[in-house]
Amino acid sequence: MKLHPFFFSLVALFTCHLGHCKVTSDLSHPIPMIVDTDVDLDDMVAILYLLKSPRGNIKAITVVGGGMSRWEYGAKNISNLLELAGRSHVPVAYGAKKSLSPAGSFPKEWRDEADAVRGIKLPQNPVQPVRVSASDLMVDLIMNSPNKISLFCMGPLTNLAIAMEKTPAIKENIDHLYIMGGVIVPPGNIEGRPQGFRNTTAEYNIFLDAKAASDVFNSGVPITLIPFDVTEQVPITKAFFDRLSKDRKTPSANFVYEAIKPFSKMHARFKDYFLDSLAAVVITHPEIATYRTLNLTINMRKGPEYGRLMMTKKGVPINVCTEVDTDAFYKIFLETLNLPENIKQNHTESH
């Protein structure tokens, strides 16, 4: 995807010191992280990737109820996904049922598909979600970790905003926050007329809880944003689907095959993209992406641009992914899904 030249002129205007634009990670050790999700199928695909990646170490998965999946389905579906991946003991927690700033919801038919995992059968996990809330689990893990923890958020930021309000000290022990959400160059992905307006400038993960997103953006925690528009560089193509259909050696790879099968058949008249999956690969392989530091503010004024990310001189410096190596993404993604189980990590994840 070629980004609009207007984007780069704005980048030049609002970019901070070049040193802030470079993403560096110590890749000699797996990245300890908490994954926060609203449990769309692409979220599930991204989680499977991170569970397989030698560079990812998921400590817990927290579920937010105000996004794609409904509260009562999300955590159970994630728990069963972990059983599929052979990682049944990773803690899963129910999160907030409602947004801090309700603005609508995903279309009902999208939510119905997500709740039913689009008909894909998952094994039942005998391990139940934990009995503490998502925000409390976040606080406990972050405050008691000997090393700083990163977070990867793939839905509305309600859970994290609540955790930060409860215990502001967690900000000091968060290494990095990765967010899939927002849009830098519209259009976004809002359907219908939520709030009575047609909104072409926002993206659901920010729009559905703009207050939570604003609170998190202003928390002082280092943030890398993978916006909706950059994911257009990694479409679900028939060519990738054909590669996957011939090379799916693991239950995780087979789940991805089943998840993207409908889109491979509709590619000529309808496009979809690897949204959260791209963000997951960027976390483990930051070298495949190009970044710019943008000063971002979230529009909180009710109207047709509610939830829009705005570049302003007074905005918060956010590290934004602007371009990715498409071929490298597909290669890393497929190879990782087909890796054998990481036995050492399976045995140590509960300690």
pLDDT, tens digit (0-9, with 9 covering 90-100), for 199-223: 999 999 999 999 999 999 999 999 9
**CB-based burial, 24-57: b 16+ in 10 Å, e otherwise:** ebeeeebbbbbbbbbbbbbbbbbbbbbbbbebbb
What percent of the chain has pLDDT above 90?
85
Domains of the chain: 27-341 (3.90.245.10)
Q: Look at strands 174-180 and 149-153 and give their pairing.
A: parallel
- What pLDDT was estimated at residue 276? 98
pLDDT digits (tens, 9 = 90+) for 48-80: 999 999 999 999 999 999 999 999 999 999 999
In this structure, what token pair is assigned to residue 261?
């099968």
In this structure, what token pair is assigned to residue 265?
């058949």
The reply to whether omega before 187 is within 30° of 0 (cis) is yes
Please tell me what DSSP assigns to residue 34. E
Does the pTM of the predicted model rise above 0.85? Answer: yes
When mean pLDDT is compared across 3-7, 247-251, 277-281, the lowest value belongs to 3-7
pLDDT band at 284 (very low <50, low <70, confident <90, very high): very high
Is the distance from CB of 55 to CB of 98 less than 8 angstroms?
Answer: no
pLDDT surpasses 50 at 343 = no
What string of DSSP letters covers 123-178? PPPSSPPPSS-HHHHHHHHHHH-SS-EEEEE-S-SHHHHHHHHH-GGGGGGEEEEE
pLDDT band at 267 (very low <50, low <70, confident <90, very high): low
Is the distance from CB of 181 to CB of 227 less than 8 angstroms?
Answer: yes
CA distances from 261 to 93, 107, 179, 333 (A): 29, 21, 26, 16
